[in-house]
Amino acid sequence: MYEDLLIAGFGGQGIIFTGKLLSYAGLKESKEVVYFPSYGAEMRGGTANCTVILSTSSIASPIVSHPQNIIMMSQPSYLKFFPRIKKGGQALINTSLIRDELVRDDIEIIRIPANKIAEKIGDSRVANMVALGAWVKKSKAVSLESLVESFPEVISPNRLNLLPLNEKALREGARFVS
């Protein structure tokens, strides 16, 4: 099993947190993991992306030029990364913030209104978890339970009260693509 995923958006959307959570879940399942965050100097509003590779065997390189999978949370990330998806890959598009205008018939496209779903369950800031839940359900790269069990290891101690909301967002995302 080998899955690589590029998660892209802007600062403040929890892109780096999403990648870190997925990485911890992979480690919890005894997978080989690469976690490679990248973000601009701005804390909020700047670009952010994160590459995560999960594998049941050794990972040859942490560099992924043409990812198999991408979660795109903002229009600029969509425009930048959509053309790079490997043929036969999968794109998860946050339709709450992205005008889906590029056309490809050689990849699977999952459209999910992540922000709208997050707002409906209580907080638009968990749109990243909605998207991750949907991607994990489709890819089966890790289990939702491993993600949930990894929260306490990743979330800062002063934010532990947000665990139920984040778990609900993961499950809502998974339910959306079921």
Q: Degrees (nearest 5) of the Cα angle 134, 101, 177?
A: 15
Token output for 121: 């369950």
**Domain boundaries, position 6:** 2-176
CATH number of residue 64's parent domain:
3.40.920.10
| pLDDT single digits (tens) 16-37 | 999 999 999 999 999 999 999 8
Say how many CA atoms lie within 13 Å of 114 toward its Cβ.
Answer: 29
Q: Which residue has the higher pLDDT, 64 or 88?
A: 88
Least confident of 77-81, 93-97, 139-143, 156-160: 156-160
Q: How many CA atoms lie within 13 A of 6 on its CB side?
A: 27
pTM of this prediction? 0.92
Number of domains in the chain: 1
Residue 90 β-bridge partners:
69, 108
Answer yes or no: are the C-beta atoms of 73 and 94 closer than 8 Å.
yes
Residues 72, 93: Cα–Cα separation, whole Å: 5
76-135 pLDDT tens trace: 999 999 999 999 999 999 999 999 788 899 999 999 999 999 999 999 999 999 999 999
Query: Is 42's pLDDT higher than 80?
Result: no
CA atoms within 13 A on the CB side of 158: 0
